[in-house]
Amino acid sequence: MKILPTSLIKELDALTIQEEPIASIELMERAAMALTEAICSRYPHPEQPFILFAGPGNNGGDALAVARLMADRGYRPEVFLFNPKGKLSDDCATNRERLLEEGRVTLHEVNTQFVPPRLTAETVVVDGLFGSGLNKPLSGGFAAVVRFINTSPATVISIDMPSGLMGEDNSFNQPQHIIRADLTLSLQLPKLAFLLPENETYVGEWQLLDIGLSKKGLETLQTAYQLSESSYFKGLFPRRNKFAHKGDFGRALLIAGSEGMAGAAVLAARACLRCGVGLLTTHVPFCNNFIQQTSVPEAMTDIDAHERFFSEAVDSDRYRAVAIGPGLGTARLTEQAVLEQIGTTLCPMVIDADALNLLAGHSELLQQLPKGSILTPHPGELERLVGKCTDGYERLQRARALAEESKAVVVLKGAYSAVIAPDGNVWFNPSGNPGMATGGSGDVLTGILLALLAQGMESLTAARLGVYLHGVAGDLAAQSVGETSLIAGDLIRILPEAISSIK
């Protein structure tokens, strides 16, 4: 599903109007019907108090149309239309007249003085002040209205976008002048801002409403951002022939663990095996060998020369994929060994955790990564590689630049993990939940990605599929143990069910 920049939303509307053909006021009515249905399905009792705040543009026109349609269903909404310049958009003006003709809705048109209504915890506010076309922070009277709504105990539903929020970059915005919605009803497509962590407090829960915008237009308009859909992953997992043998599913090497961090290697190894790798070798320090062999008897071990940590690069010629990083530590000898491993490995690598932290001090190696490699930083690890970032938007842009520079796929981990191709295209992942914010979860992802690469999957596909499977496992685990109690081992336990769900 494409995530169009807000600058192209109007163009998509125009293509829809031209293609059908349909008048713009009729398209607004279609949107209002979808909005009304979504709102009334959540609040099915007509006695529920609603107050709608409408701006002078088309977002305000949507709000006015919603008020009229709600009245048709027996609701009694109250509307405040803000028109300080005495000029409404054409479709907003038309819906104002329709609302007045309908006669069952109390409409307050605010030109100069705003007498605020009483907003209680029982009130539902519908925010239709400004939509996706906003390109500068709110100020003056509109900023005051936003502050009034935000300080009230009312539940807030925003139409298309929380008023005051820009669709992409909000680094120059005024946080106190942005609506804090409990629910955002986005028309047709998500906005990039919805997927960035700093905007969660404004967007709240978000829901997409299909209003039938041009499919041809969606195919034509270009964007670097997409939200992956579950249908993409059906049938992607490697199939097995009847006469297959373990050699057909790849040899993988996992370099992980140090004294006190054996668990990271165990989790990554178990996840790798659960995802179908044919043969797995784990390279561990001597102190972890017993733990590794008893915890993961299905994997072979290769013992490092050092008793406590990774100290020398491994010959990787016989492996189809290598993963390095979980629980390695950052000892000086480990740093040297990691750099040598990256410099001498020819097959695709998954580079995670401490391997990323050690790589951060040697940016010249980024251009020497093996072809088809995957970097899996969380935000802190990314900033060690690319420098401090002010917000999620800048972090995303820096991650895109890292992917381009390294010619590797970058997985920026978090809610809606971003899988970034070397050409800058980004796929946000829809699966997963906050329960996965627990120690070892990233190690499980490393093992999954290693297994997929070792089975011959192309790196971008492996990254998208691996991140999705990881999230599905998290969602399934949360159903059985809850988000609070979820641990990394639960993800591995339920991986077979996650895999079955996409087969």
Place of tokens 């053909």: 21
Output the pLDDT for position 220: 95
Q: What is the pLDDT of residues 258-272, one digit of tens each?
A: 999 999 999 999 999
CATH superfamily placement of domain 231-502: Ribokinase (3.40.1190.20)
The rounded distance, in Å, linking the Cα atoms of 153 and 151 is 7
Quickly list H helices, 24-89: 24-42, 58-72
**181 to each of 156, 204, 392, how far by Cα in Å?**
5, 6, 19
Contacts of 49 (CB under 8 A, 6+ apart): 78, 120, 122, 123, 124
- For 6-222, the fitting CATH number among 3.40.50.300, 3.40.50.10260, 3.40.50.920, 3.40.50.720 is 3.40.50.10260
SS3 content of the chain, % helix, strand, coil (to 5): 45, 15, 40
DSSP state, 131? -
Quickly list H helices, 165-255: 200-203, 215-220
465 sits in which H/E element: helix 459-481
Tokens for 8, please give them: 């192209």
CATH 3.40.50.10260 in the chain, residues?
A: 6-222
- Rounded to whole angstroms, the maximal C-alpha distance in the chain is 85
CATH 3.40.1190.20 in the chain, residues?
A: 231-502
Cβ atoms of 446 and 376 closer than 8 Å: yes
Contacts of 286 (CB under 8 A, 6+ apart): 303, 304, 306, 307, 308
3-class SS at 389?
coil
- Beta-sheet strand order (sheet of 124-128): 106-110, 78-82, 50-54, 124-128, 155-159, 183-187, 205-209
Cβ atoms of 132 and 160 closer than 8 Å: yes
> For residue 187, which phi and psi values (nearest 5 degrees)?
-85, 115
Q: What is the pLDDT of residues 329-386, one digit of tens each?
A: 999 999 999 999 999 999 999 999 999 999 998 989 999 999 999 999 999 999 999 9
Q: Taking CA 232 as the corner, what is the angle to CA 226 and CA 238, rounded to the nearest 5 degrees?
A: 130
DSSP state, 390? S
Output the pLDDT for position 238: 84
**322 to each of 45, 188, 201, 325, 339, how far by Cα in Å?**
58, 41, 39, 10, 14
The rounded distance, in Å, linking the Cα atoms of 431 and 425 is 19
Output the pLDDT for position 338: 98
Map 292-350 to HEC letters.
Answer: HHHHCCCCEEEECCCCCCCCCCCCCCCCCEEEECCCCCCCHHHHHHHHHHHHHCCCCEE
The rounded distance, in Å, linking the Cα atoms of 180 and 251 is 50
The rounded distance, in Å, linking the Cα atoms of 19 and 156 is 35
Contacts of 195 (CB under 8 A, 6+ apart): 3, 227, 415, 416, 418, 428
Cβ atoms of 214 and 15 closer than 8 Å: yes
- Residue 140 φ/ψ region, left for φ over 0, alpha for ψ in the -120 to 50 degree band, beta for the rest: left
The one-letter amino acid code at 171 reads S
Quickly list H helices, 76-230: 90-102, 140-150, 200-203, 215-220
Low-confidence ranges of the chain (pLDDT < 50): none
Q: Taking CA 473 as the corner, what is the angle to CA 471 and CA 478, rounded to the nearest 5 degrees?
A: 95
Q: What is the DSSP string of 261-298?
A: -HHHHHHHHHHHHHTT-SEEEEEE-HHHHHHHHHH-TT
Cβ atoms of 328 and 338 closer than 8 Å: yes
CB atoms within 10 A of CB 2: 17
